[in-house]
Amino acid sequence: MPRQAGGVAPARRQVAGAEPAEPAPVPTEAEQTLCSAFHGARVTSEVGSLRRVLVHRPGEELERLLPDNHRDLLFDDIPWLHAAQAEHDTFTSLLRGEGAEVVELTTVLAAALADPGAREELATAAADGGRLGRPLAAAVRQHLLEAEAGPLARRLLRGITLGELQEWAPHRTRYALAASTRPPEWFVLPPLVNSLFVRDSSSWIDGVCGTHHMSSAARFFEGRQLRTVMRVAGADDVWAGATPPVAMEGGDLLLLGEGCVLIGIGERTTPAAAEAFAQRLLTTGAARRVFGVIMPRERQSMHLDTVMTMVDRETFLVSNVHEQRCHYVELSLARQGEVRAVPLDDPFASFAGALGLPALRRVETGGDDFGTRREQWSDSANVLALRPGTVVAYDRNTVANQRLDEAGIEVLVIPSSELIRGRGGPHCLTCPLLRDR
């Protein structure tokens, strides 16, 4: 229909005897929240000006960490929640001050859980009958379904102990065998303590979302939640219909720009996942070229973004200690649609050619052996680009930050004494939803 000046459609003429047109349904508050967060989401590079970003402020889930469980939950120490929240607040204040809209994970999760189907989906998924037994799983599911959307979102993140479930639903847990064989502090629903590292559970590649199957049991439900959120939000998921699920995490993805993607293959992302992801990106046109970097399977290099990040359109920050032990391939489609891995002798020259640049620049985190290894442990190569040539870094990584400054990169630092205890830097703490091209 032709539109009048100003973009307003002319009123329809009512035909005699015809039923009046039904007014369009008014979006609910939850629908508006999801639309505001994800409508128009598009990310084509690591360094385009950041306009909208998903984060998670550390919550009560961190207070579930104990001396005897923190390693199973992938933390190297027990953070002080109050200080971790203060550090994260400093970070998000900086993001807002630099022009980015900050979207909180708990808010969009609660909005999605206003949908009855989403509540049923996640309550059923959280009630793991294979682990809990049928009576206890039924009690967990029912308990979750009885909560309102906001409290339910917080409960899914915080986790539930057996003692809490017995207190809330004594009649449902009394005769469950697991209830008589486990201590009260046993988690019937484990806390999602790694949720603050939102980079890993989902990624945006151009205008398509990827909600990932996490490699560790401690993080499995993070990806499950995001799949439900994106389904309710109506986002296209590059993994839709993928069977069987393969382990991949968003920290292993770097969007080089110009339709080129680099996938890390190591501790958290399997070769099978990298092949499947490359195939989907290339066949759907979400990517033009896909490269892979095969990394040591070590905690210090658990993700690609612990080894390197981009700080400008032609500049990488690289942890030389770990990057020199990597080797690279290009993942391309063979005639039958299968993926083939072709080794690269000079990977950064290949990246430059794919990006249409004469060369790429590398800034190495550097320092002596002791300094390099210490700063790598605190994610010196893991920085977040706010725009080309401006990054956020942890204050503690003084050598790497000085190297960036000498290379002409503006470095904005944030405190990190508590946030680093989960082994994640500013890049890990964010999932960009919208960047300028």
pLDDT in tens, 6-21: 333 334 444 455 565 6
Q: What is the pLDDT of residue 203?
A: 95
pLDDT tens for the chain, 437 residues: list them. Answer: 333 333 333 344 444 555 656 666 778 999 999 999 999 999 999 999 999 999 999 999 999 999 999 999 999 899 999 999 999 999 999 999 999 999 999 999 999 999 999 999 999 999 988 899 999 999 999 999 999 999 999 999 999 999 999 999 898 898 899 889 999 999 999 999 999 999 999 999 999 999 999 988 899 999 999 999 999 999 988 887 776 678 899 999 999 999 999 999 998 999 999 999 999 999 999 999 999 999 988 877 789 999 999 999 999 999 987 788 899 999 999 988 899 999 999 999 999 999 999 999 999 997 667 777 788 778 999 999 999 999 999 999 999 999 999 999 999 999 999 999 998 999 999 999 999 99
Q: Which residues does the annotation mark as catalytic?
A: 428
Global pTM?
0.92
Distance of alpha carbon 399 from alpha carbon 320, whole angstroms: 13
User: Domain spans of the chain?
Assistant: 91-102+194-435
- Angle between helical axes of 220-233 and 29-38 (0-180°, round to 10): 110
The pLDDT score that the predictor gives to residue 23 is: 67
User: Residue 24: its pLDDT value, please?
Assistant: 66
Separation CA 263–CA 290 (nearest Å): 8
What's the CA gap between 365 and 129, in Å, rounded? 47
- Homologous superfamily of the 91-102+194-435 domain (CATH): L-arginine/glycine Amidinotransferase; Chain A (3.75.10.10)
